[in-house]
Structure 1
């Protein structure tokens, strides 16, 4: 009998050891943290606060014809072809059906032919700040009318992907005053544009009427 009890005791001890081992293994499996996937990075959107604050612009007084006189930019196209820029004229018209959009017609030459580029600027709650919408929000172009007297000159800032372009417009090609050009150069210098990045535009031989075949809707690169 003693041998039988010893045998049964040995079997019970062995079962307890097995159960204890299996319980620890299960517990270890449950307590082990599962690997987690890293969250996807959100696409980077450049801030749009590089441009100066807009003046309290009366957009109605900005409508009409403006001649492009000078541009400050580090745009690769202008750097490579800045000496071959063509006379350019812009016409601003408020949308008669909605006071929240501004129609923009830009006429210039390309390959010795006159072209008209049509765009729509959305007005923002801030007077003097406009938006040219791209295919995605990060491709929008933010526009600020920095300075103007409505009758002779306007200085406008264009920002896309955090890069700035300044443009000097005049109501006429005949009122190019030295103080106006000096002011534009000073504002350009504040944005990091030296004289090497200033591109004067011709003030003669602007386009008149344009054939319908040469009217396009697009977003210029500069």
Structure 2
């Protein structure tokens, strides 16, 4: 009986920590536009345990629409040479730097936590599907390499949002998908 209670306590703690995450105060979403490399990935999702070893860096193209929404286009080259692609439109909220979107049947609340527009972006997402909630943190870079300090910053942030150390990954470099 203690294991389920411990698990429930850890989940509630994770949700409480994640609900306190706020976007960067002076966020300028227009400056987020362009190409980013997904270099760090951290989550409390169960599927990650089985897929972590096969994940590699990918690219994201972010475009701000005329009405302030954010178009997200992700690609990653698979080991067989095919490309994995995912496109979403994140709707702006009343809070600058916070967006919501639905992907793969899950409602997602995305928060731009820490951004240096020409170098890196740390983005926190809460996913919910039914009564399940999942934390996903992503570290993006404008280049394929980031400093050890930034990697450590991402690791610390992920731990603070309830991610176990073994669920924090720095993705190996990968060739890019060709334009579709």
Q: What TM-score range do you get, normalising by the shorter chain?
A: 0.7 to 0.9
- Give the number of the structure whose residues are more often strand, by fraction: 2
Unaligned runs of 5+ residues in structure 1 are: 1-45, 211-222
Q: Do 1:85 and 1:201's aligned partners in 2 also have CA atoms closer than 8 Å?
A: yes
After TM superposition, what 4+ stretches of structure 1 lie above 4 angstroms from structure 2? Answer: none
Match of 1:150 in 2: 117
SS in 1 for 2:19: coil
Deviations 1:139-186 (A, max 9, x none): 420000000111111100010123211111000013x10110111111
Counterparts of 1:71-220 in structure 2, within 5 Å, are: 71-95=41-65, 98-110=66-78, 112=80, 113-133=82-102, 139-161=106-128, 162-174=133-145, 176-210=146-180
Root-mean-square deviation (CA), in Å? Answer: 2.2
SS in 2 for 1:180: helix
Higher relative CO (Cα under 8 Å, sequence separation at least 6) belongs to: 2
SS in 2 for 1:145: strand
How many residue pairs get aligned? The number is 159
**CA drift at 1:195:** 2.2
Q: Do 1:51 and 1:164's aligned partners in 2 also have CA atoms closer than 8 Å?
A: no
SS in 2 for 1:79: helix
- In the alignment, the residues of structure 2 paired with residue 184 and residue 120 of structure 1 have an alpha-carbon distance, to the nearest angstrom, of 25
- Rg larger for: 1
- In the alignment, the residues of structure 2 paired with residue 70 and residue 170 of structure 1 have an alpha-carbon distance, to the nearest angstrom, of 9
- In the alignment, the residues of structure 2 paired with residue 132 and residue 86 of structure 1 have an alpha-carbon distance, to the nearest angstrom, of 24
Unaligned runs of 5+ residues in structure 2 are: 1-14
